[in-house]
């Protein structure tokens, strides 16, 4: 059993250049935190504990406080790499914990709130965490110099040991208490790239042991605090439906069921463990009110979207006079694309633990957006922000699912906890669990979308005009983010990767139209890039075919002012042997795309089976993500992103029949099979550019690279996904 511990809710705003120096128990210790400024900062007293970014304990362990959720993408190890390198620590002394919810200390400097998303963790924290390590090292050196009465300039630090030529040595833990008394350097000196020990080289991941051993406190699904009750919720089968009436007689008779409550999202069954909660839910008799629900089929919804792409919609971007250029074109190439709803399908579905006593609330879960969830919980429970604490736990995947703008998982468990107190129950921790079926049928999908592209060509085959229209439900419109993220009524996340393309079209217009539906939508790994990259890159191949040009050469011709994009394209083509003959029965396709600041080019090699289905044999990828902090992790993220995207384009879709989701588990919403996984070769571009994201950028190019290989093999342009619909899988 796990014991419950309280984290202080009252955290004051630190001064800009104050540094947190604390004594960790009687033996002493050093705790540090920094902002992305010219100096590190922190605050504290000798008796109060406030989580900073770095804690050196007397046992010589160095614990990093990760302000970003690690849901498998390796963020925690990346942040630890930065501090370990500047600190000159040994790998085996490094530990990692997740920071509490405190936007003053731990906000994402890109977004201004605490949260993880947009592949921003390394871009946000590259300097910030290095400053923490450099400042800590300087304070350790200063403490050693004072104790040994030697010049600080003569002291060396390596692999967690501080030493001097006179023979003095000390481990970090032995100096921690003394270092905490030193002044914080106003401008900690950072290493130069040639001095790096771990950055750009190797630093093994820190989460392998606990995940491999099945440690019970690794994931929320396994987290079992004493006295825990488990709730599952019967939610409407149609989006927008609500409870008309219910009979819980049979459910209450299931052994282990404690109580049944109606809450705004449905009917919650509370039990002593997960299985009786599920069986109790199965025994419920619920009448649903579908008067305001979505009752259309997927076919009807996609037909509406296709019609919407023919309408003007909202202007997103325009360069040149697209209308005039299109009228004067010698030839117009037109393509229509459509994409289905997609579920996220993380291995660990949504789950949250909450202890609420009527006055204070403490959460445990894989929290992706601490500030939003924290504020949402406080409002839902009717308590102050300072009365809520969030303990972030490792998450078994997310792909965007754990950060919905409406905070519905947090709001739902708050409603369950309030119902428990209203029923007179003593405060005990409760866990709301989403089953796999809840996850697949529960909405918050990547939006279904339709796209129309028209390309004008002159008599010499040059592009003169490019018109792009997309119709989908907006993720942002109607959410709490609309006021900030939709300037002038434009949702940039719908058309990212298209309206900001670096292909130099003389005239280009991008429009968007918003579908209204009760089906909730959400960002999905790479958000808009997952469909705009497909549209743009398949269209580029189609234009190359129309103009008789090589697909790689044509792209390079169209990339005028983006040398990094051209560079990864050349590298991927070179490593894949683009200009060399393929074995009989093999075909290649290429795609290149920039997302979240990173450039990825992929060359896919496929074969055709006798039955007309395809086998993806190999993918060669080239990546430019700025400074490569952890090369092994970058390779792993590209491999994972390719696999995730490949599964989606081959088979995945969520369909509705009269408003009811038809796919319910991995038997009908099939993940990538091991037999589908190709050989993958990843090449990382050496760079001194600022680091950018790698959790998402590997996914967008794989779909169009496969589609272009299919076109090369069969002459068929796959513009409606998944490819299984075309008999290719």
What does 370-391 look like in DSSP terms, one character per residue?
HHHHHHHHHHHHT--GGGEEEE
Nearest by Cα to 723 from 625, 647, 632, 662: 647
CA gyration radius, the chain: 27
For the domain bounded by 220-291+350-433, which CATH number is listed?
Answer: 3.30.365.10
Q: Name the strand (E) or helix (H) holding 75.
A: helix 75-87
Indicate the pLDDT class of residue 386, thresholds 50, 70 and 90.
very high
Indicate the pLDDT class of residue 58, thresholds 50, 70 and 90.
confident
565, two tokens: 């994009």
Task: Among 11-15, 156-160, 672-676, name the one with the lowest average pLDDT.
Answer: 11-15
Nearest by Cα to 592 from 615, 562, 632: 562
pLDDT of residue 411: 98
Q: For residue 170, report the phi and psi dihedrals to the nearest 5 degrees.
A: -160, 145
pLDDT of residue 554: 98
Nearest by Cα to 727 from 600, 558, 612, 631: 612
What integer is the mean pLDDT of 656-681?
96
What does 297-359 look like in DSSP terms, one character per residue?
-HHHHHHHHHHHTTS--EEEEEES-HHHHHHT-SEEEEEEEEE-BB----SS--EEEEEE-SS
Who contacts 384 (Cβ-Cβ below 8 Å, separation ≥6)? 378
> Which CATH number fits the domain 298-342+445-726, given the four candidates 2.30.29.30, 3.30.365.10, 3.40.50.300, 3.30.499.10?
3.30.365.10
The per-residue pLDDT for range 261-314, each reduced to its tens digit, is 999 999 999 999 999 999 999 999 999 999 999 999 999 999 999 999 998 899
Nearest by Cα to 9 from 381, 380, 379, 391: 391
311-329 CB burial, b ≥16 within 10 A, e <16: eebbebbeeeebeebbeeb
Pairing of strands 351-356, 361-365: antiparallel
pLDDT of residue 213: 85
∠ CA(107), CA(112), CA(114), 5° rounding? 35
Q: For residue 90, report the phi and psi dihedrals to the nearest 5 degrees.
A: -90, 145
Indicate the pLDDT class of residue 32, thresholds 50, 70 and 90.
low
pLDDT of residue 30: 62
E strands present in 658-698: 660-661, 679-684
Ordered by start, the domain boundaries in the chain are: 30-213, 220-291+350-433, 298-342+445-726
Instruction: Using the predicted structure, report yes or no on whether residue 48 has a pLDDT greater than 60.
Output: no
**Can you tell me the distance from the alpha carbon of 190 to that of 82, in angstroms, rounded to the nearest whole number?**
11
Indicate the pLDDT class of residue 6, thresholds 50, 70 and 90.
very low
The per-residue pLDDT for range 223-251, each reduced to its tens digit, is 999 999 999 999 999 999 999 999 999 99
Q: Is 154 left (phi over 0), alpha (psi -120 to 50) or beta?
A: alpha
Instruction: Using the predicted structure, report yes or no on whether residue 410 has a pLDDT greater than 70.
Output: yes
Instruction: Using the predicted structure, report yes or no on whether residue 27 has a pLDDT greater than 50.
Output: no
Who contacts 67 (Cβ-Cβ below 8 Å, separation ≥6)? 53, 98, 99, 105, 106, 107, 108, 114, 125
**Can you tell me the distance from the alpha carbon of 715 to that of 589, in angstroms, rounded to the nearest whole number?**
12
Dihedral of alpha carbons 249, 253, 259, 262, sign: negative
Cis check for the bond before 722: say yes or no (omega within 30 of 0). Answer: yes
Instruction: Using the predicted structure, report yes or no on whether residue 323 has a pLDDT greater than 50.
Output: yes
Q: Name the strand (E) or helix (H) holding 619.
A: strand 614-624
> Exposed, middle or buried: residue 679 (CB in 10 Å: 0-12, 13-18, 19+)?
exposed
Indicate the pLDDT class of residue 33, thresholds 50, 70 and 90.
low
Q: Name the strand (E) or helix (H) holding 178.
A: helix 172-179
What does 1-58 look like in DSSP terms, one character per residue?
-BPP-------PPPPTT-------STT--EEE-B-SSSSB-----SS-----SEEE-T
94 has which bridge partners? 62
Domain 30-213 has CATH 3.30.365.10: yes
What integer is the mean pLDDT of 392-408?
96
**Can you tell me the distance from the alpha carbon of 656 to that of 474, in angstroms, rounded to the nearest whole number?**
19
Indicate the pLDDT class of residue 215, thresholds 50, 70 and 90.
confident
Who contacts 342 (Cβ-Cβ below 8 Å, separation ≥6)? 445, 446, 524, 648, 652, 653, 654
User: Which residue carries 């042997």 as its tokens?
Assistant: 577
Contact 238, 660 (CB under 8 A): yes
State how far Cα 722 lies from the chain centre: 23
The per-residue pLDDT for range 596-612, each reduced to its tens digit, is 999 999 999 999 999 99
State how far Cα 649 lies from the chain centre: 19
**Mean pLDDT over all residues of the chain?**
92
pLDDT of residue 314: 95
Contact 415, 380 (CB under 8 A): yes
Tell me the HSE value of 486 on the side-chain side, using a 13 A CA sphere: 18
Instruction: Using the predicted structure, report yes or no on whether residue 10 has a pLDDT greater than 90.
Output: no
pLDDT of residue 182: 87
State how far Cα 598 lies from the chain centre: 14
∠ CA(699), CA(704), CA(706), 5° rounding? 95
50 has which bridge partners? none
Instruction: Using the predicted structure, report yes or no on whether residue 461 has a pLDDT greater than 80.
Output: yes
Instruction: Using the predicted structure, report yes or no on whether residue 49 has a pLDDT greater than 60.
Output: no
Pairing of strands 62-66, 94-98: parallel
Instruction: Using the predicted structure, report yes or no on whether residue 44 has a pLDDT greater than 60.
Output: no
Task: Among 210-214, 508-512, 648-652, 709-713, name the one with the lowest average pLDDT.
Answer: 210-214
Higher pLDDT, 180 or 217: 180
Task: Among 29-38, 265-274, 590-599, name the one with the lowest average pLDDT.
Answer: 29-38
Indicate the pLDDT class of residue 212, thresholds 50, 70 and 90.
confident
Dihedral of alpha carbons 130, 132, 135, 140, sign: negative
Alpha-carbon distances of 562 from 501, 550, 555, 690, rounded to whole Å: 10, 19, 11, 16
**Can you tell me the distance from the alpha carbon of 363 to that of 410, in angstroms, rounded to the nearest whole number?**
9
What angle in degrees, to the nearest 10, is found between the helix axes of 172-179 and 121-148? 90
């Amino acid at each position: 059993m796990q014991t419950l511990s309280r984290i202080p809710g009252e955290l004051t705003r630190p001064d800009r250049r104050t540094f947190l120096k604390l004594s960790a128990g009687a033996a002493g210790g050093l705790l540090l935190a920094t902002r992305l400024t010219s100096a590190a900062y922190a605050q504290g007293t000798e008796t109060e504990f406030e989580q900073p970014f770095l804690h050196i304990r007397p046992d010589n362990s160095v614990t990093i406080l990760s302000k970003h959720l690690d849901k498998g993408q390796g963020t925690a190890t990346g942040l630890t790499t930065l501090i370990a390198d500047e600190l000159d620590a040994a790998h085996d002394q490094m530990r990692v914990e997740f920071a509490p919810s405190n936007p003053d200390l731990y906000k994402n400097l890109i977004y201004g709130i605490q949260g993880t998303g947009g592949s921003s963790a390394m871009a946000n924290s590259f300097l910030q965490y290095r400053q923490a390590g450099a400042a800590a090292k300087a304070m350790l050196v200063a403490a050693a110099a004072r104790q040994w009465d030697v010049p600080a300039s003569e002291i060396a630090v390596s692999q967690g040991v501080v030493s001097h030529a006179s023979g003095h040595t000390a481990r970090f833990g032995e100096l921690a208490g003394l270092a905490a008394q030193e002044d914080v350097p106003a401008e900690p000196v950072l290493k130069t790239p040639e001095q790096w020990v771990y950055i750009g080289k190797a630093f093994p991941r820190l989460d392998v042991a606990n995940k491999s051993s099945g440690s019970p406190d690794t994931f929320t699904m396994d987290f079992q605090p004493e006295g825990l009750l488990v709730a599952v919720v019967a939610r409407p089968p149609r989006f927008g439906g609500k409870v008309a009436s219910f009979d819980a007689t049979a459910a209450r008779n299931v052994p282990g069921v404690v109580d049944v409550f109606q809450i705004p999202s449905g009917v919650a069954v509370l039990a002593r463990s997960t299985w009786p909660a599920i069986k109790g839910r199965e025994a419920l008799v619920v009448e649903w009110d579908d008067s305001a629900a979505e009752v259309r089929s997927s076919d009807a919804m996609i037909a509406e979207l296709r019609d919407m792409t023919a309408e003007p919609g909202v202007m997103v971007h325009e360069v040149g006079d697209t209308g005039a250029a299109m009228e004067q074109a010698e030839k117009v190439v037109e393509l229509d694309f459509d994409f289905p709803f997609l579920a996220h399908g993380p291995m660990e579905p949504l789950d949250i633990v909450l202890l609420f006593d009527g006055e204070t609330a403490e959460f445990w879960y894989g929290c992706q957006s601490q500030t939003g969830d924290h504020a949402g919980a406080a409002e839902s429970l009717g308590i102050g922000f300072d009365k809520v604490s969030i303990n972030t736990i490792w998450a078994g995947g997310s792909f965007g699912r754990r950060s919905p703008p409406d905070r519905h998982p947090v709001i739902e468990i708050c409603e369950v906890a309030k119902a428990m107190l209203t029923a007179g129950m003593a405060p005990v921790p409760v866990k709301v669990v989403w089953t796999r079926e809840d996850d697949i049928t529960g909405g918050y999908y990547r939006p279904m979308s339709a796209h129309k592209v028209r390309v004008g060509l002159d008599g010499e085959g040059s592009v003169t005009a490019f018109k792009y229209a997309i119709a989908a439900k907006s993720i942002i419109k109607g959410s709490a983010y609309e006021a900030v993220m939709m300037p002038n009524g434009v949702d940039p996340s719908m058309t990212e990767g298209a309206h900001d393309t670096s292909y130099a079209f003389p005239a280009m217009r991008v429009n968007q139209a918003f579908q209204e539906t009760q089906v909730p939508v959400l960002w999905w790994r790479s958000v808009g890039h997952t469909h705009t990259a497909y549209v743009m890159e398949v269209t580029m191949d189609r234009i190359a075919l129309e103009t008789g040009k090589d697909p790689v050469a044509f792209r390079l011709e169209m990339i005028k002012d983006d040398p990094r994009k051209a560079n990864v394209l050349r590298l991927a083509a070179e490593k894949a042997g683009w200009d060399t003959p393929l074995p009989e029965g093999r075909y290649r396709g290429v795609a290149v795309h920039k997302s979240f600041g990173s450039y990825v080019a992929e060359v896919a090699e496929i074969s055709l089976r006798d039955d007309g289905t395809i086998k993806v044999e190999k993918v060669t990828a080239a990546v430019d993500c700025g400074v490569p902090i952890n090369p092994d992790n970058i390779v792993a993220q590209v491999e994972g992103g390719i696999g995730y995207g490949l599964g989606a384009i081959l088979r995945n879709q969520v369909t509705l029949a009269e408003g009811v989701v038809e796919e319910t588990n991995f038997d009908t919403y099939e993940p990538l099979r091991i037999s589908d996984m190709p050989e993958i070769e990843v090449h990382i571009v050496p760079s001194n550019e600022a680091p950018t994201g790698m959790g998402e950028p590997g996914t967008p190019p794989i779909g169009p690279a496969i589609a272009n290989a299919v076109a090369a093999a069969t002459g068929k342009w796959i513009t409606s996904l998944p490819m299984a619909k075309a008999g290719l899988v």
